[in-house]
Amino acid sequence: MPKIPARSEVDPKYTWNAESVFASPEAWQAEAESIVADISSVKAFQGKLGESAASLADALEALENLQVRAERLAMYAGFTYSVDTADQNAAAMADKAGGVYGQVVAATSFLQPEMLEIGEQTLHQWVREEARLTGYEHFVSNLFRKQAHLRSSEVEEILGMLADPFGGASATRSMLTNADFKFPAVQIADGDALDLTQGTLQKILNGPDRDARKSAWNQYHDLYLAHKNTLASSLATSIKQNVFQMRARKHRSTLAASLFEDNINVDVFHNLISVFKKNLPVWQRYFEIRRKVLGVDELHPYDLWAPLTSSSPKLSYEQAVEWICEGLAPMGAEYVETVRKGALEDRWVDVYPNQGKRTGAFSWGAPGTHPFIMMSFGDNMTGLSTLAHELGHSMHSYLTWQNQPLVYGEYSLFVAEVASNFNQALVRGHLLKSNPDKNFQIAIIEEAMSNFLRYFFIMPTLARFELETHERAERGEALTADTMMTLMADLFAEGYGETVTINRERVGMIWSTFGHLFSDYYVYAYATGISGAHALSRRVLDGVPNAVEDYTKFLKAGASMYPLDALKMAGVDLTKPDAVEETFAVMSEYIDRLEKLTG
C-alpha cells in the first residue's frame, strides 16, 4: 500500500471541483457575510404572508433563495473540511457555516406557523390563482398534515435556533475521530508498515494478509475504546436532543417523530427488523461458507471482508468509471453520459485518500452546484462498487434539481439509499454476465456480499441498537459507554450466532465508528433502501415494460410526493415486508452461487 499523501500532494484532477462553487475561500467569506446581511430582508415578510397570494409568493421566493444560498455555503465548507479535517481554516469555515445556517433557519421559522393561520382552503385557492405558487399543492397539504406537531412562531424560532448548538455532539465526535485520532501503523510480515487511517482501514480489511487485517481491526477499535466515555457522551447527548425534539413537538416516541416527517408508519421500521431477525440463519450460513473457503478454524470480524480469491481484478479509477457506465446502459444514453462526464470531466468526485480525509463516502451538493462525491477509491471491486453507489446518489440529486422547484429539491433520506443501491445492482448484474471466469465471478459475488453485509446486516443491527437506546432515554434510563457496549455486543452476538468469534469489547464499540447514528433513525433506511433497489433493478434487468421510465420518474420526483408514494410509482411497495423478503432471496441466490463456485 503506497504512503498516504498530504492533501497538497493529490493531483488536482482527482479532487472535487470546489472552484465551481466559490472561486476562493475569500469569495466564500464574502457570501457568508452577505447572507447574514440579507436575513433582515427576509424577516421583513414576517406578519405579512396572509395579505395576498402575491405577498406569499414574494416571501417564498426570498426565503427559498436565502435557504439555498445557505445550503451552498454549508456544503462548500463541510466538503472542504471533510477532505482535510486537519485543516484549521476549513474547520473554522464549517463552524461558521453552521452558525450562519442556524441563523437562516431561525429567521425563516415564521413561515409555516403563518401559513397555517392563513388556512388550508385559502392556500389551495391561492395556489390555483397565483402562477408563482404553481406546484405548491403537495407542500400545502403536507403542512396541514403536520399541523398538530408545529408550534407557535416564537417556539418555532427557538427550535430553529437550536439547529447550530444541537450539531455540537456530532461535530465533537467527528473532530475527535477524524482529526485527532492518530492510529498506529500496521506491521506486516515482511517488516514493512501500513498507514492506518479512516480512509485505509477498509482496504487493509479487504486484503489477503490476515495478520494485517487482525492488527488493523484491533488497533482501529482499540483507539475508539480508549475514548469510549467521550464518544458515549456525545451520542447520548444527541439521543437526548432527539427526545427533547420529540417532546417539544408532542410525538409519542422518537421513532414516530422521525418517521412522521416523511409520512411513514412505524410498521415499516418494525417490518424490516422482524424480517431481518427471521433471516439471521441466512447470514450465519454465509459466514460458515466464508470460514470454510478461507480455511480458518474460527472466523473473526476482521475476516468478513477478506478476499475469497487471489485473482480479484485490479482496476484504475478510469476503468471503474467505464465498467459502471457499461452496467448503467439500460438507463439510456443521456443518463450514462451524465455519469461519465461528471466522473471524468466535471470533477464531481474527490477520488483518492489523503492524510486527514474523513472516513467513508458520501454525495453532497445543493441546487446550482454539482452533486459532489467524497470517497477514498481503492483499485478493486469495492472501490468500483462504492463509486457506483455514490453516483446513484448524485444522479438522484442531479435529476431532482433538474426537474423540481427548490421547495421539492431535497428528497428524503428514506429514498436516498434506493438510488445508490440500484446503481450497484445494475452494474453487478452486467459484470456477472460479462466475464464467466470463476475467479472474476467470485470477486463480484464477494463484493455483493460485502455490500449486503454493510447495508443488510450491520445497518439493521445498528437500527436495533438505535431503537433500544432511544427507548431507554425516553424512559429516563442512563446511557453510558458500558451499557451501550453491552447492548451492541449482544446484538452482534445474536446476529453472528456460533459462526463468528468476537471480542465483546471491540465489537461493543462498533456503534462509535458510525457517524450515521447522529442522523436520527437513518441507518434502517439503508436496509429498506437496498430492498427497494433490488426490487426495482430486477424490473429493469428483467425487461419489465416501462420499468426504466417508472424508475426515472422516481428519480425526478424529489420531495414532490411522499417517499412511499414515489416508490410505488417506481414499482415497489415498502409498506409491506415483501421487498425485504425478496432481497433476502436475492442474497440467498448469491450465497448458493458462491458455494458452487468455491466447491
Question: How far is the CA of 530 from the CAs of 377, 522, 540, in angstroms?
Answer: 22, 13, 15
154 has catalytic annotation: no
Any idea what the Cα angle at residue 17 is, between residues 14 and 20, rounded to 5°?
165
Residue 503 CB contacts under 8 Å (≥ 6 apart), including other chains: 218
Closest CA to 442 of 283, 597, 282: 597
d(Cα 581, Cα 599) in Å, to the nearest integer? 27
Report residue 415 as a C-alpha cell.
429514498
Residue 598 CB contacts under 8 Å (≥ 6 apart), including other chains: 289, 292, 293, 308, 442
Residue 327 CB contacts under 8 Å (≥ 6 apart), including other chains: 388, 423, 426, 427, 428, 429, 430, 431
CB 386 within 8 A of CB 537: no
d(Cα 408, Cα 474) in Å, to the nearest integer? 32
Count CB-CB contacts under 10 A for residue 324: 26
First to last CA, the chain: 31
Distance of CA 178 to the CA centre of its chain: 17
Q: Which of 31, 156, 157, 390 is catalytic?
A: 390
Question: How far is the CA of 141 from the CAs of 53, 59, 136, 266, in angstroms?
Answer: 17, 19, 9, 21
Report residue 103 as a C-alpha cell.
441563523
Report residue 99 as a C-alpha cell.
452558525
d(Cα 173, Cα 44) in Å, to the nearest integer? 38
Counting Cα atoms < 13 Å in the Cβ hemisphere of 461 gives 25
Report CA torsion sign: 288, 294, 295, 299.
Answer: negative
Torsion of CA 586, 589, 591, 595, to 10 degrees: -170
Buried b or exposed e, range 537-563, using 16+ CB within 10 angstroms: bbbbbeeeeebbebbbebbbbbbbbbb
Question: How far is the CA of 576 from the CAs of 10, 254, 534, 557, in angstroms?
Answer: 47, 22, 15, 22
Q: What is the amino acid identity at position 339?
A: V
Closest CA to 41 of 66, 74, 69, 68: 66
Catalytic residues: 390
